[in-house]
Amino acid sequence: MSPTIFLTLAIIAVVSAMFVVFAKNPVHSVLSLIVTFFSIAGLYLLMNAQFLFVVQIIVYAGAIMVLFLFVLMLLNLSADTEPQKSNRFRVIASASAGLLSLVFSAGMVIDATMGDRNVTNIQEIGLVKHLGKVLFTDYLVPFEISSILFLAGMVGAVLLGKRTPKESKS
Amino acid sequence: MNVDTTYLIIKSLMVLTIFGITLLIATYLTYFERKVAAFLQDRLGPDRAGPFGILQPLADAGKMFFKEDFIPQNSAKSLFILGPGIAMFTALLTGSIIPWGPQITLFGETFDFQIADINVGILFIVGVVSIGVYGIMIGGWASNNKYSLFGAIRASSQMISYELAMGLSIIAIVMMSGSLSLKDIVAQQHGMNWNVFYQPLGFIIFLISALAECNRAPFDLAECESELIGGYHTEYSSMKLGFFLFAEYINMFISCAIISSLYFGGYNYPFMDMVTDPTVQGLIGTAVLFGKIFFFIFLFMWIRWTLPRFRYDQLMHLGWKMLIPLALANMLATGAVILFNQ
Amino acid sequence: MEQNASYLPILIQAAIAIGFVGLVLVLTHILGPRRYSKKKVENFECGIESEGNARFPVSVKYFLTAILFVLIDVEVIFFYPYAVNFREMGVQGFLAVVMFVAFFLVGFIYIWKKGALEWEK
pLDDT recorded at residue A81: 56
Chain A CA closest to residue B124:
A54
**3-class state of residue B227 by DSSP:** helix
pLDDT recorded at residue B1: 45
Lowest mean pLDDT among A80-89, A92-101, A106-115, A151-160: A80-89
Sort out which chain B residues have CB atoms less than 8 A from C29's CB and list them: 69, 238
pLDDT beyond 70 at B23: yes
pLDDT one-digit tens code per residue, C63-81: 888 888 998 898 888 888 8
C interface with A, Cβ–Cβ below 8 Å: 1, 3-4, 7, 55-58, 60-64, 66-71, 73-75, 77-78, 80-82, 84-85, 88-89, 93, 96, 99-100, 103-104, 106-108, 110-111, 114-116
Which residues are CB-neighbours of B55 under 8 A, at least 6 positions away? B49
pLDDT recorded at residue A33: 92
Q: Residue B160 and residue A66: Cβ atoms within 8 Å?
A: yes
Closest CB from A25, A28, A54 relative to B120: A54
- Calculate mean pLDDT across residues B111-121: 77
Spatial distance between the Cα atoms of B218 and B299, rounded to a whole number of angstroms: 13
Rounded to a whole number of angstroms, the distance from the CA of C10 to the nearest CA of chain B is 6
- Calculate mean pLDDT across residues A66-77: 78
Structural domain contains residue B7 = no
pLDDT recorded at residue C1: 43
> Which helix or strand (DSSP H or E) is residue B103 part of?
strand B101-106
Neighbours of B72 (CB within 10 A): 22
Mean pLDDT of chain B: 84
pLDDT recorded at residue A14: 92
Q: Are B56 and B50 in contact, with CB atoms under 8 Å apart?
A: yes
Which residues are CB-neighbours of C62 under 8 A, at least 6 positions away? A70, A74, B153, B157
Structural domain contains residue B50 = no
Closest CB from A50, A69, A127 relative to B137: A69
pLDDT recorded at residue A169: 40
Number of domains in chain B: 1
pLDDT beyond 70 at B225: no
Spatial distance between the Cα atoms of A50 and C3, rounded to a whole number of angstroms: 10
With DSSP H G I counted as helix, E B as strand and the rest as coil, what are the percentages for chain B, rounded to 5?
70, 5, 25
pLDDT recorded at residue B206: 92
pLDDT band at residue A27 using 50, 70 and 90 as cut-offs: confident
| Angstrom distances, CA of residue A41 to CA of A9, A60, B115, B266 | 9, 10, 20, 29
Q: Residue B147 and residue C97: Cβ atoms within 8 Å?
A: no
C44: contact with B, CB 8 A cutoff: yes
Domain at C2-113: CATH architecture: Up-down Bundle (1.20)
Q: Residue B161 and residue C41: Cβ atoms within 8 Å?
A: no
Which residues are CB-neighbours of A91 under 8 A, at least 6 positions away? none
Any chains having at least 3 CB pairs less than 8 A from chain A are B, C
Q: Are C34 and B68 in contact, with CB atoms under 8 Å apart?
A: yes
Chain C CA closest to residue B96:
C10
Q: Residue B180 and residue A53: Cβ atoms within 8 Å?
A: no
- Calculate mean pLDDT across residues B70-76: 78
Spatial distance between the Cα atoms of A120 and C109, rounded to a whole number of angstroms: 43
Sort out which chain A residues have CB atoms less than 8 A from B127's CB and list them: 54, 57-58, 61-62
B24: contact with C, CB 8 A cutoff: no
pLDDT one-digit tens code per residue, B289-307: 889 999 999 999 898 888 8
pLDDT band at residue A98 using 50, 70 and 90 as cut-offs: very high
Sort out which chain B residues have CB atoms less than 8 A from A53's CB and list them: 120
Spatial distance between the Cα atoms of A127 and A48, rounded to a whole number of angstroms: 7
- Number of A:B CB contacts under 8 A? 60
pLDDT one-digit tens code per residue, B118-155: 778 888 888 888 888 888 888 888 888 888 888 888 88
pLDDT recorded at residue A101: 92
Q: Sketch the domain layout of chain C as residue ranges.
A: 2-113
Out of 1.10.1060.10, 3.40.50.300, 3.40.50.1820, 1.20.120.1200, the CATH code matching A1-77 is 1.20.120.1200
Sort out which chain C residues have CB atoms less than 8 A from A136's CB and list them: 81-82, 85, 89, 93, 96
Can you name the residues that pair with B162 across neighbouring β-strands?
A: none
DSSP states along chain C:
-GGGGGGHHHHHHHHHHHHHHHHHHHHHHHHS-----TTTTS--STTSPP-S-S-----HHHHHHHHHHHHHHHHHHHHHHHHHTHHHHHHHHHHHHHHHHHHHHHHHHHHHHTTTT----
- Calculate mean pLDDT across residues B318-342: 88
Rounded to a whole number of angstroms, the distance from the CA of A98 to the nearest CA of chain B is 33
Half-sphere exposure of C85 (CA within 13 A, CB side): 22
Q: What angle do CA A67, B240, C16 make, to 5 degrees?
A: 85
pLDDT one-digit tens code per residue, C97-121: 888 899 889 888 988 888 777 776 5
Q: Are B143 and C55 in contact, with CB atoms under 8 Å apart?
A: no
pLDDT recorded at residue A164: 54
Structural domain contains residue B59 = no
Sort out which chain A residues have CB atoms less than 8 A from B120's CB and list them: 50-51, 53-54, 128
Bigger pLDDT: B271 or B172?
B172
pLDDT beyond 70 at A85: no
**3-class state of residue B109 by DSSP:** strand
Residues of chain B above pLDDT 70, percent: 96
B79: contact with C, CB 8 A cutoff: no
Q: Closest by alpha carbon to A153, among C110, B293, B203, B172?
A: C110
- Calculate mean pLDDT across residues B221-231: 70
Rounded to a whole number of angstroms, the distance from the CA of A167 to the nearest CA of chain C is 14
- Calculate mean pLDDT across residues B153-169: 89
Sort out which chain B residues have CB atoms less than 8 A from C84's CB and list them: 174, 178-180
Spatial distance between the Cα atoms of A126 and A113, rounded to a whole number of angstroms: 24
Signed CA dihedral, C67, C70, C76, C78: sign only: negative
pLDDT band at residue A119 using 50, 70 and 90 as cut-offs: low
**3-class state of residue B14 by DSSP:** helix
Spatial distance between the Cα atoms of B34 and B304, rounded to a whole number of angstroms: 11
pLDDT recorded at residue A170: 37
Rounded to a whole number of angstroms, the distance from the CA of B132 to the nearest CA of chain A is 8
DSSP states along chain A:
-HHHHHHHHHHHHHHHHHHHHH-SSHHHHHHHHHHHHHHHHHHHHHTT-HHHHHHIIIIIIIIIHHHHHHHHHHS---TTTSPPPPHHHHHHHHHHHHHHHHHHHHHHHHHHHT-------HHHHTSHHHHHHHHHHTTHHHHHHHHHHHHHHHHHHHHHH---HHHHH-
C60: contact with B, CB 8 A cutoff: no
Whole-model pTM?
0.88
Q: Residue B161 and residue C76: Cβ atoms within 8 Å?
A: no
Closest CB from B78, B82, B123 relative to A54: B123
- Calculate mean pLDDT across residues A97-109: 91
- Calculate mean pLDDT across residues A136-146: 85
Sort out which chain B residues have CB atoms less than 8 A from C15's CB and list them: none
Sort out which chain C residues have CB atoms less than 8 A from B81's CB and list them: 25
Spatial distance between the Cα atoms of A150 and A158, rounded to a whole number of angstroms: 12
Residue-number span of the structural domain to which B158 is assigned: 70-341
Q: Closest by alpha carbon to C21, among B323, B115, B87?
A: B87
Q: Residue A2 and residue B134: Cβ atoms within 8 Å?
A: no
Chain B CA closest to residue C19:
B89
Bigger pLDDT: C105 or A131?
C105
> Which helix or strand (DSSP H or E) is residue B315 part of?
helix B312-317
